[in-house]
């Protein structure tokens, strides 16, 4: 068995209902606000020797750039063959994707996603599928580059500039496109803490009279700052945030800002409820300032909000999809042990990515096989550690006995890495389920809810929620589940 595959084969993630077999039931009403004993970390650990071979290689404690070329090359090759060749039509675009020097395979994958987004934009205007677009389609409609760069959060302007050169655009035409993109890449000269615009100050004064908490008002100030920056970036370049007059804003601007927020949702920059909250507050600003007589026109009156359903059905990955995902992680990840541990903590214990990133060795009690989770709102909860996760923790701890953070040895931010690589690994595993990294937590709770001995109260405790209606948002049943439930009804 290859290195790390034992954690996949032992994980029983697909049968997460059985995770708690043999585990002691914790006293959920006991105090869980203290860290586990430091003495437990000094207990001698005896585990089976782990196989150190993976693809004929090294340990996985090194930085991605120090990995054997063969390991990293597999991801590059997979992206090139299965994504670039299959989905990208223009030959010049394929060539630049394959020849652009990148530091990691995830960077190549991100460039592919950026490129596909660009070609989707051309598809919308030309009615030609990205896989059927040709170099001349891009060349003859180069003005679409400018529209794309102006209306999208663009992470790699230089890459798109290189792409335009590759398809043969003249220097003057590239400059026209880039001048349009430059206006969209405007950045504020100061932070939201220095943002003091009289219109928004009047709105915040009204909020204080309503008894709105200062923490909430500070959050709203960030929404205001985002909105004004967007206005200046897209339409009013000559103004500064503190001096911007809201009388110049029209209902069309509000509609375009709503579209901008929805784009950020599609790019997974914001969740749908965050975009909805931002736009609701911006509409409230114009509603309040009009009613107070500060603004002459009620421009927000006909502008509809961003609808957000608190419950959104998610297609939970199947047993086979989860096993395939974990196997791909163990075989292709440049950091298989760290990535496996992070994903297993989410799938087997329902941890959020921030909770994974903040996990410290002092939170883990190897003797009692339990972990203290420091979650949202300052709450702490104690959870049992499944055997497969415990073995992986023991192995990683033996490599870094003097580090405080479980992922301290990791070369970069583990939360960002788990998020970015999860999209690639899910694509490689052919997941049809939409959703980001948080889908793993939904999967944990949905699977656990099917356990016949798991009561709603226990499910809420394992979810570490304070209200049962919150837990209900994480439970998803497909059509087959509903049919099975109905078939079990028997009045005999």
For the chain, the first-to-last Cα distance in angstroms comes to 50
Question: How many CA atoms, within 13 angstroms, populate the side-chain half-sphere of residue 348?
Answer: 27
Asked if residue 254 and residue 191 are part of one domain, the reply reads: yes
Asked if residue 439 and residue 307 are part of one domain, the reply reads: no
Each of the 492 residues of the chain gets a pLDDT tens digit; together they read 555 666 665 555 444 444 444 444 333 333 333 333 332 222 222 222 222 222 223 323 333 444 443 444 588 999 999 999 999 999 989 988 988 888 888 889 989 988 998 898 899 889 999 899 999 999 999 988 888 887 555 556 778 888 898 888 999 999 888 877 665 554 555 566 789 999 999 999 999 988 888 888 999 999 999 999 999 988 898 899 999 999 999 999 999 999 999 888 877 788 888 899 999 999 999 999 999 999 999 999 989 998 877 677 888 998 899 999 999 999 999 889 999 999 999 999 999 998 999 999 999 999 999 999 988 777 888 999 999 899 999 999 988 777 788 998 765 689 989 998 999 999 999 987 766 888 999 999 999 998 888 888 889 988 988 888 888 888 888 777 777 777 777 776
Asked if residue 478 and residue 352 are part of one domain, the reply reads: yes
Last residue of a domain, one of 265, 298, 330: 330
- Supply 434's token pair: 């939409």
Looking at beta carbons, which pairs linking 75-80 to residues 24 or more positions away fall under 8 Å? Answer: 75/105, 75/108, 75/332, 75/334, 75/424, 76/105, 76/108, 78/332, 78/428, 79/105, 79/108, 79/109, 79/112, 79/424
430 inside domain: yes
210 inside domain: yes
CATH number of the structural domain spanning residue 281: 1.10.150
The two most distant CA atoms of the chain are separated, in Å, by 82
Asked if residue 306 and residue 343 are part of one domain, the reply reads: no
- Supply 110's token pair: 């991100």
Asked if residue 143 and residue 48 are part of one domain, the reply reads: no
CB neighbours (10 Å) of residue 339? 24
Asked if residue 230 and residue 106 are part of one domain, the reply reads: no
Domain of 270? 187-236+238-330
Asked if residue 325 and residue 242 are part of one domain, the reply reads: yes
Last residue of a domain, one of 330, 347, 372: 330
Asked if residue 76 and residue 120 are part of one domain, the reply reads: yes
Which three-class secondary structure string do you get for 82-132? HHHHHHCCCHHHHHHHHHCCCCCHHHHHHHHHHHHHHHHHHHHHHCCCCCC
Asked if residue 343 and residue 322 are part of one domain, the reply reads: no
- How many structural domains are present in the chain? 3
492 inside domain: no
Distance of CA 370 to the CA centre of its chain: 27
Asked if residue 98 and residue 231 are part of one domain, the reply reads: no
């Amino acid at each position: 068995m290859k290195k790390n595959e034992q954690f996949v084969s032992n994980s029983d993630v697909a049968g997460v209902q059985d995770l708690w077999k043999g585990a002691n039931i914790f006293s959920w009403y006991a105090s869980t606000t203290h860290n586990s004993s430091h003495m437990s970390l000094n207990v001698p650990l005896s585990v089976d020797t782990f196989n150190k071979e993976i693809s004929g290689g090294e340990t996985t404690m090194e930085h991605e750039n120090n990995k054997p070329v063969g390991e990293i090359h597999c991801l590059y090759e997979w992206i090139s063959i299965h994504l670039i060749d299959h989905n990208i039509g223009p030959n010049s675009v394929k060539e630049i994707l394959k020849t652009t020097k990148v530091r990691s395979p995830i960077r190549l994958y991100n460039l592919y996603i950026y490129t596909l987004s660009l070609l989707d934009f051309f598809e919308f205007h030309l009615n030609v599928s990205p896989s059927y677009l040709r170099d001349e389609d891009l060349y003859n409609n180069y003005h679409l580059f400018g529209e794309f760069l102006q209306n999208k959060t663009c992470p790699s302007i230089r890459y798109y500039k290189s792409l335009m050169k590759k398809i043969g655009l003249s220097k003057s035409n590239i400059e026209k496109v880039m001048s349009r993109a430059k206006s969209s890449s405007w950045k504020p000269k100061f932070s939201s803490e220095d943002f003091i615009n009289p219109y928004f100050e009047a709105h915040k004064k009204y909020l204080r009279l309503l008894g709105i908490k200062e923490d909430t008002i500070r959050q709203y100030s960030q929404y205001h700052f985002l909105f004004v920056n967007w206005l200046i970036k897209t339409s009013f370049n000559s103004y500064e945030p503190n001096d911007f007059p809201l009388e110049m804003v029209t209902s069309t601007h509000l509609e375009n800002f709503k579209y901008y927020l929805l784009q950020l949702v599609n790019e997974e920059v914001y969740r749908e409820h965050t975009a909805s909250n931002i736009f609701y507050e911006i509409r409230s600003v114009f509603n309040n300032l009009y009613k107070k007589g500060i603004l002459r026109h009620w421009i927000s009156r006909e502008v509809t909000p961003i609808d957000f359903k608190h419950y959104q059905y998610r297609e939970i990955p199947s047993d086979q999809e989860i096993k395939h995902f974990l196997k791909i992680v163990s075989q292709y990840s440049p950091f298989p042990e760290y990535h496996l541990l992070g994903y297993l903590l989410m799938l087997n214990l329902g941890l959020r990515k921030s909770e994974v990133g903040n996990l410290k060795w002092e939170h883990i009690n190897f003797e009692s096989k339990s972990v203290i989770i420091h979650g949202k709102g300052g709450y702490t909860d104690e959870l049992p550690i499944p055997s497969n996760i415990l073995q992986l923790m023991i192995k990683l701890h033996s490599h870094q006995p003097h580090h405080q953070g479980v992922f301290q040895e990791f070369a970069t931010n583990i939360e960002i890495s788990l998020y970015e690589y999860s999209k690639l690994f899910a694509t490689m595993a052919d997941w049809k389920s939409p959703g980001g990294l948080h889908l793993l937590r939904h999967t944990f709770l949905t699977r656990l809810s099917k356990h016949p001995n798991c009561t709603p109260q226990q499910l809420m405790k394992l979810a570490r929620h304070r209200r049962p209606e919150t837990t209900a948002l994480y439970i998803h049943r497909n059509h087959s589940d509903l049919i099975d439930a109905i078939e079990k009804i028997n009045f005999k």
